[in-house]
Amino acid sequence: MNSQNFAAATARVIAVQDDIISLEAIGETPLTKNEVVYILPSRCETKHQERLKAEVLRIYGNRADAQVYESTLGVAVGDPVEQSGQLLSVELGPGLLGQVFDGLQNPLDLLATEFGYFLPRGVDLPSLDHNCKWAFTPCVQLGTKLHAGAALGTVQERRFTHKIMVPFDIAGEVEVTWIQAGNVTIDEPVAKIRLANGKEQTVMLKQRWPVRKPLSQDLLRNNLNQRQYPTEPLITHLRLVDTFFPIARGGTGCIPGPFGAGKTVLQSLIARNSEVDIVIVVACGERAGEVVETITEFPLMTDPKTGGSLMDRTIIICNTSSMPVAAREASIYTGITLGEYYRQMGLNVLLLADSTSRWAQAMRETSGRLEEIPGEEAFPAYLDSSIKNIYERAGVISNADGSSGSLTMIGTVSPAGGNFEEPVTQSTLNTVKAFLGLSADRAYKRFYPAVDPLLSWSRYLEQLNPWYQRHLAPDWTTHAQQVLQLLSRGNSVHEMIQVAGEEGVTMEDFVIYQQATFVDMVYLQQDAFDPVDVSVPLERQKETFMLIVKIIGSKRQFSDQSHVRDFFTQLTGLFKNLNYAVWQSTEYKQLWGKIEAML
């Protein structure tokens, strides 16, 4: 080991257990919780000196435990440790959109270009392109008084106006003393501000922020931001979600379900078709197949809002197989910090985490290695509060300049065996306000999306009722609740038929069963492979749903059960074809006429 490494080191390794190491300070610099440190392994087999990134988890005296975000192979007792003096942070600035990062915000495409597909450990590349020039346009003048988070100017990032803001960690009022337009890199100064203590500070296009601290925390405390009550739904273009189980824009939701029930596909459809500005996909489960599919498909898909590529509005964060499980935890914090950054610009952001069960399992492994007292099923006792801390960072924020942005978070949960009573699912359900429970039985029957309407719920349905009354129909929420009740009654009749046969139920119950089956087949199910049915605009949903309400509300006389079955079979076929027809086309109008003629 080079003696220079020991000269720069301020701590040393005293114990190693998998990806947890124990440190001891050997200098005057104290160890800090959540500080980033670098281990310099003495048994280094590469040409360059490896610097393994780690984060301090807990401190006791002059010693600390840290989790390493790389393989600890070759790390030995006595190896030197460098302290960075910084908390685990991400780089914020123009150039984030369209990128694929790992959980520590390393650009994976650049890593692959420089080192091949087998990524070496100990490599720390810049997250943003430091050579790219951006056209900076000031929006304030000399002498303007501003606060943290206020815009100094803008650059154009793809189709978005990217605000360059006063650093978020600055306290009090600042004054602009110098600002200049021009083409600059993210490392070049664009403005100077005088702080409250009289000192000057240079502002560049980039800034850093610790991932475990909510970006808006200080701004809310100082009344520079205001948290708003969500009043609009997140339009996903999925009939089942938008009509019965809406998620508010700026709200929270979860998609639990057993393996193979379609969690990733449902999340992908929400990412593609939702009416938001920015989508951040956090693949914290190390499931390579789904990640590769997302990375390869998104650039080829058309953004329904602009006609451009979906990657123009997307950031993907995924863990590589070479990273320990601890990196899963960091990836969610990284993604939500990037989402908060774009929300501060007044944009609507959607964060999709797949899956938070893997993140919780990573916490369980780390907690076990730290020998903490375990909770239920060996998860850490602080599991519940950790999940709440993550989801509470979502929300609608109004800024001092009058702009308003939102961050909506939807996480998938993968309970073993589809058991919704396990700790991660229960803690998540106690936190979120929309629950889209997937059913293995519906997935087996090819009823997609396999969201079980008898298990799922949304507390936003009543909360968003004023919005539905203004934009859809005065009694929209009432109709939605009535249809859900019909589905529940239809399921009860179906169970009776399974035991007693069709002859064992009354004509009224049999009609209810056929009506519920009809609604399930033509409205709850949606064909993800059909170019028309995959994404249904809200106006078309309204038109179709009100027709269905009219059908199930009408009183028809049937001669026998065969007559009931024939009627609804024919009606289902017409509606299926209606769903596949282009809205307001000649075929659509003809099918609509045939349905009305049947009524």
As given in the structure block, the two tokens for residue 331 are 């990836």
User: Is 447 among the annotated ligand-binding positions?
Assistant: no
Neighbouring residues of 225: CB distance < 8 A, sequence distance ≥ 6: 149, 216, 219, 344, 397, 398, 399, 400
Neighbouring residues of 180: CB distance < 8 A, sequence distance ≥ 6: 136, 138, 190, 191
User: Is 264 among the annotated ligand-binding positions?
Assistant: yes
Burial of 411 (C-beta count, 10 Å sphere; 0-12/13-18/19+): buried
User: Is 576 among the annotated ligand-binding positions?
Assistant: no
Neighbouring residues of 316: CB distance < 8 A, sequence distance ≥ 6: 99, 100, 101, 280, 281, 283, 291, 294, 295, 298
Asked whether 460 and 252 are in contact (CB, 8 A), the reply is no
Q: How far apart are CA 367 and CA 388, in angstroms?
A: 18
**Pairing status of strand 278-283 against strand 348-354:** parallel
Give one DSSP letter per residue of 499-526, joined into a string.
Answer: HH-GGGS-HHHHHHHHHHHHHIIIII--
Q: For residues 519, 522, 523 and 528, what is the CA-based torsion angle, rounded to 10 degrees?
A: 150
As given in the structure block, the two tokens for residue 461 are 């349905």
* DSSP for residue 450: -
User: Is 182 among the annotated ligand-binding positions?
Assistant: no
Q: Which amino acid is located at 139 in the chain?
A: C
Q: How far apart are CA 269 and CA 259, in angstroms?
A: 18
As given in the structure block, the two tokens for residue 89 are 């942070």
User: Is 568 among the annotated ligand-binding positions?
Assistant: no
Q: How far apart are CA 476 and CA 299, in angstroms?
A: 37
Q: How far apart are CA 497 and CA 503, in angstroms?
A: 8
Q: Which of 266, 272, 251 is nearest to 314 (CA)?
A: 272
User: Is 262 among the annotated ligand-binding positions?
Assistant: yes
User: Is 258 among the annotated ligand-binding positions?
Assistant: yes
Q: How far apart are CA 568 and CA 511, in angstroms?
A: 9
Give one DSSP letter per residue of 193-222, joined into a string.
Answer: EE-TTS-EEEEES-EEEETTS-TTHHHHHT
Asked whether 523 and 240 are in contact (CB, 8 A), the reply is yes
User: Is 257 among the annotated ligand-binding positions?
Assistant: yes
Binding-site members for ATP are: 257-264
Binding-site members are: 257-264
